[in-house]
Chain A
């Protein structure tokens, strides 16, 4: 029997995808894993791959069409095999997501190329009640699947359910990669961690700390005061003279080898190193607990044509400036072309947003949840600064940190900023 190719959820939040380009055409032989098409999701352009071997028998969706997740976009089968025309392009009847999309009247579904008039009035032998559009945040799973997922430490939200209405069932959990031993060992972490400590290098990526009562009250009261995330802002002005000199020297050293180091690279490195010393700022707010990260993954805001995205430089504290430079250039390039994979723009523990190149003195950035902080970098500007009883010209940078008050208090953020400032004012400190 021919196999349906569905529009797959290629990102955790994807509800529909635009078929940008078919890379295989009707009649082409395909193997499982081959790229069939390029699909633009809400985040990036991704590859839709074949899940079966055979021949691409029929393409149901023309290029440029936007299709809800779960819809049939093509058929794979043996050459000459007949495909079921009736279901063509129609939402997969058992997919919750397509049921939701189907309920939206303003979004026309792609027209079935050969809608059979006979198909409409026929009543299925076992009519099932229509699936009401469910709360998108609720994961439907069989009791067994829930138990298996719990035992295996797998997050049900990350599993694509194959049962009716997207229900996660046993086979879906079994097919899902199990969580690393990290979850288990994190669970054994001490109940009251000393968050002000340096992040321990234990190999455990993070530590979940339950919210204390006072923390809960702070979270509730402050969230009620402004928006879901109670932001506050700390601004500091940093003397960049030595950083400028250091950068020039380093780039001279690198010479024509290419890969010049930018201020952005230096700032990312300094932020990462400061976060190692101040784990209290390297955290996620998780509703009933705070996740303090032992690893430092810096999200780097990159402007793209119709928005922005934050590719992540993982373990930035452990990378040297050349590595950070090369990686950020490469990620930013692909971000602008919308070629990032989901795991390349998720999982940051803290972010940096830089508008220095736009001649912005200073600005405040909005936190990218669940992270607890972001630093906004302005331009490096020459300024007249009093020095004893004379005035000197120094190159200065104004940097503003946005903090999630549920996680970071004023003093906590201030100490972190002080460390960051010291590192940038004296880049040699980064060697310590």
Chain B
């Protein structure tokens, strides 16, 4: 087991999968010579050559479409978007082609493609470059969506995504790439659709994914100082969703706070709350609370941006509300 950054864990997953299967290739802006806008593809051009590490023009719809065609032809493309904010341009290929192919071909054509890149806000990238797209993507039947929060999960989930015969969206994060953590060497697979209990507790469940795991863990620390035992459940996959894990935890703690990066309206958290109210109704002691980004375009101003984001303090306050402590 080595301590790696999140970016190097992704790099390891790509390298191992490309070594394992010659059909796997990486395509995107600056992935080759520049070795990736966030250096995820460092050293890969040198190792695998320009045929498998493909630099593209700034044309998201175009190279996403090439990827879809390559997948139909039997290859296993990994499409890197510099950020998911740019991938909006490629949504037609993702939603109308990739997500529908298996269904509309009557099960004849698989779509083993991965679309990956950083999602959500970093620091002061302003409104157009700070958006969390998971509720858009997880909405679409035919897509799988994963959002790893740790280097180990990043490696394990990217490997699963590459081996999956369906289109898989991998949501990373600019603020995650430098995160360090222990990563198992070699064959480390995290199955898609399986949540992970990152901290056990008994009083309240904090449901999170991706960057909000850090927020939830900090909140759990603060709550522990207030004698509140918080359980932190990292969803890891948003579609399919590990409903059993969510329900099991809520049935234990009777209370939940859902923490997400996106906006509140029709967000991922709304889906989780729907599940909890329906299938854990008799176990609830308080209405489920949600902590989201403020319902505004992300401000550029540093203080406003901080105020708009989910924070440990907001999560602590919500946890205290569901525990009737205030």
Measured CB to CB, the residues of A under 8 A from B are 126, 142-147, 162-164, 169-171
Contact = CB atoms under 8 A, between A and B. Distances in A.
Nearest to B277: A143
Interface of B is mostly: loop
Nearest to A162: B324
B283 interface: yes
Contacts, number: 28
A93 to B, nearest CB: 10
Contact of B284 (A144, A162, A171): A144
Of B283, B284, B285, B317, chain A has the most CB atoms within 10 Å of the CB of: B285
A170 B317 contact: no
A413 to B, nearest CB: 45
Contacts of A163: 286, 324
B324 A143 contact: no
Contacts of B324: 162-164, 169, 171
Contact of B285 (A126, A164, A170): A170
B289 to A, nearest CB: 10
A126 B317 CA distance: 10
Contacts of A144: 254, 282-285
A163 B320 CA distance: 12
A169 B317 contact: no
Contacts of A126: 317
A144 B281 CA distance: 8
A169 B286 contact: yes
A94 B283 CA distance: 23
Interface of A is mostly: helix
Contacts of A162: 324
Interface string B297-320: 000000000000000000001000
B317 A147 contact: no
A146 B317 CA distance: 25
B274 to A, nearest CB: 15
Of A144, A147, A169, chain B has the most CB atoms within 10 Å of the CB of: A144
Given A142-B284, A143-B282, A143-B285, 5 more contacts: A142-B286, A143-B284, A144-B282, A162-B324, A163-B286
Contacts of B284: 142-144
Contacts of A143: 281-285
Nearest to B318: A126
B310 to A, nearest CB: 14
B282 to A, nearest CB: 5
Interface of B: 254, 281-286, 317, 324
A126 B316 CA distance: 13
Given A162-B324, A164-B324, A142 B317 contact: no
Contacts of B281: 143
Contacts of A145: 285
Contacts of A142: 284-286
Top 6 A-B residue pairs of the complex, sorted by shortest distance between their CB atoms: A144-B285, A170-B285, A142-B285, A147-B282, A143-B281, A143-B282
B320 to A, nearest CB: 11
A144 B286 CA distance: 8
Nearest to B321: A126
Contact of A169 (B282, B283, B285): B285
Nearest to A161: B324
Contacts of A164: 324
A208 B228 CA distance: 43
A421 to B, nearest CB: 54
Nearest to A146: B282
14 contacts: A142-B284, A142-B286, A143-B282, A143-B283, A143-B284, A144-B254, A144-B285, A145-B285, A163-B286, A163-B324, A164-B324, A169-B285, A170-B285, A171-B324
A171 B285 CA distance: 9
A126 B289 CA distance: 12
Given A126-B317, A162-B324, A164-B324, A170 B282 contact: no
A170 B203 CA distance: 12
Nearest to B324: A163
Contacts of B283: 143-144, 147
A73 to B, nearest CB: 21
Nearest to A144: B285
Of B254, B281, B284, B324, chain A has the most CB atoms within 10 Å of the CB of: B324
A165 B229 CA distance: 25
A211 B64 CA distance: 71
B301 to A, nearest CB: 20
A126 B283 CA distance: 26
A293 to B, nearest CB: 33
A144 B256 CA distance: 13
Contacts of A171: 324
A344 B95 CA distance: 72
Nearest to A145: B285
Contacts of B317: 126
A145 B324 CA distance: 14
B291 to A, nearest CB: 11
A328 B172 CA distance: 79
A155 B254 CA distance: 21
A393 B324 CA distance: 73
A23 B79 CA distance: 77
A361 to B, nearest CB: 59
B163 to A, nearest CB: 41
